[in-house]
């Protein structure tokens, strides 16, 4: 009887000991779980702060990129319009037969100095724009850049295309930067007046001014303004650029134009036609005006190309392949521009016909 009592007592003690050990084991597991959860939460918070910091750097670089792009466009456009006003005043005050006097040169040198100053500021903004774009690419590809830094020499040919946007993102390695820089650098210089002659239709000697040639090139500064406007499009905002970068292509102005052509074809074609006609009509007027100015005004066979509407009429008639023949280009530069208008007009009108046929 006593042995049985001892046995039962030993079993009860052993049971309590087992329960205590199980309780300790459960508490130890709960403690480990709580520590693991705290570590996970700390790691998650750390990753979240890291992502927020990276996003802040990304948005800062993107905003700098867009702001410098807008500054470049404004400075370039204002410089063009100042030179445009200078040209119009010069044409009204003196024709191409009359030599310039000192008073005329002094007044127009002031305009050209302002244009040169604005051009220098625009070039600085252009450099800063491409540097901000470089910073944006590096911030977006931060993980890739770290990997690239550690194993630059070990990149295989299959990875080369993936890393090329990072390797070539430096603005001085970008061919588009140098093309834009050269286009923006074209500006008339103060106190530099150069004229050259050209034998046009009928053996007439036509005098061109170098600053007028520069003005015709400056007309393409509108590219910077169009690009700055497209920066505020839904197709080129920060989210679109980030999404396109993930898939290996850039959300550029051409991409936005293609999207506009796809989703808003009538509006896009109308604006493209107006822009095309407006720019090329002005270029044609610049190069044809000296020819008509050199003609004898008493000759009734010609009319001066002093009216912009006349040049606009000629461009529209050429683009639409009507060709009345009442006006035509008589100088070599004017004929080159007319050929460009005719060739590009074929593609433009084909695009118009295709869009209209799809709409109706």
Q: How far apart are the C-alpha atoms of 29 and 45, rounded to whole Å?
A: 24
Q: At 51, is the pLDDT very low, low, confident or very high (cuts 50, 70, 90)?
A: low
Query: Which is higher by pLDDT, 29 or 101?
Result: 29
Instruction: For the domain covering 264-360, report its CATH number.
Output: 1.10.287.70
- Break the chain into its structural domains and give their ranges: 57-229, 264-360
As a whole number of angstroms, the distance between CA 327 and CA 335 comes to: 12
Nearest to 292 by CA among 216, 209, 212, 201: 201
Residue 8 token pair: 């039962």
pLDDT of residue 184: 93
CA distance 140 to 242: 8
Taking residues 68-88, report their average pLDDT: 92
Q: Quote the CA–CA distance of 281 and 288 in Å, as a whole number.
A: 10
Q: Give, for 189, the enclosing helix (H) or strand (E).
A: none
Kindly state the tokens that stand for 23: 């309780």
| Pick from 92-106, 155-169, 182-196, 306-320: least confident | 155-169
pLDDT for 148-158, tens place per residue? 443 444 444 44
Q: At residue 103, does pLDDT exceed 60?
A: yes
| pLDDT score, position 181 | 92
Does residue 195 sit in helix, strand or coil?
strand
Asked if residue 332 lies in contact with residue 196, where contact means CB atoms within 8 angstroms, the answer is no
pTM of the model: 0.74
- Widest distance between CA atoms in the chain: 149
Dihedral of CA atoms 120, 123, 124, 126 in degrees, nearest 10, equals 160
pLDDT on residue 132:
85
Distances (CA, A) of 309 to 12, 289, 306: 112, 13, 9
More confident residue, 168 or 19: 19
Q: Give the pLDDT of residue 166.
A: 46
Give the integer Cα–Cα distance in Å for 138 and 291: 53
In this predicted structure, what is the pLDDT of residue 82? 92
Query: How many whole angstroms separate alpha carbon 315 and alpha carbon 282?
Result: 10
Model confidence over 284-341: pLDDT tens digits?
988 888 887 777 655 544 455 677 888 888 888 888 878 777 788 888 888 899 899 9
């Amino acid at each position: 009887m006593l042995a049985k009592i001892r046995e039962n007592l030993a079993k009860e003690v052993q049971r309590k000991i087992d329960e205590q050990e199980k309780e300790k084991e459960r508490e130890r597991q709960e403690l480990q779980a709580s520590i693991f959860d705290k570590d996970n939460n700390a790691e998650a918070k750390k990753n979240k702060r890291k992502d927020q910091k990276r996003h802040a750097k990304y948005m800062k670089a993107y905003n700098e990129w867009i702001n410098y792009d807008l500054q470049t466009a404004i400075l370039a456009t204002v410089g063009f319009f100042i030179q445009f006003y200078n040209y119009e005043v010069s044409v009204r005050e003196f024709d191409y037969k009359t030599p310039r006097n000192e008073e005329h040169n002094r007044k127009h040198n002031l305009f050209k100095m302002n244009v040169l100053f604005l051009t220098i500021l625009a070039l600085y903004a252009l450099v800063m724009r491409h540097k901000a774009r470089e910073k944006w690419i590096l911030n977006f590809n931060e993980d890739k850049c770290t990997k690239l830094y550690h194993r630059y020499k070990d990149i295989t040919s299959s990875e080369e295309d993936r890393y090329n946007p990072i390797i070539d993102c430096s603005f001085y390695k970008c061919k588009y930067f140098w093309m834009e820089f050269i286009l923006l650098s074209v500006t008339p210089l103060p106190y530099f007046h150069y004229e050259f002659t050209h034998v046009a239709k009928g053996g007439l000697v036509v005098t061109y001014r170098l600053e007028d040639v520069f003005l015709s090139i400056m007309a393409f500064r509108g590219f910077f303004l169009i690009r700055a406007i497209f920066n505020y499009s839904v197709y080129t905002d920060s989210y679109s650029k980030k999404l396109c970068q993930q898939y290996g292509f850039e959300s550029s102005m051409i991409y936005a134009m293609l999207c506009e052509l796809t989703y808003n074809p009538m509006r896009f074609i109308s604006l493209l036609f107006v822009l095309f006609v407006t720019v090329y009509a002005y270029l044609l007027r610049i190069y044809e005006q000296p020819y008509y100015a050199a003609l004898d005004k008493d000759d009734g066979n010609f009319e001066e190309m002093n009216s912009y509407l006349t040049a606009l009429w000629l461009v529209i008639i050429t683009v639409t392949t009507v060709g009345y023949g009442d006006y035509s280009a008589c100088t070599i530069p004017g004929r080159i521009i007319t050929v460009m208008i005719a060739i590009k007009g074929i593609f433009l009108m084909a695009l118009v016909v295709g869009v209209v046929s799809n709409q109706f």
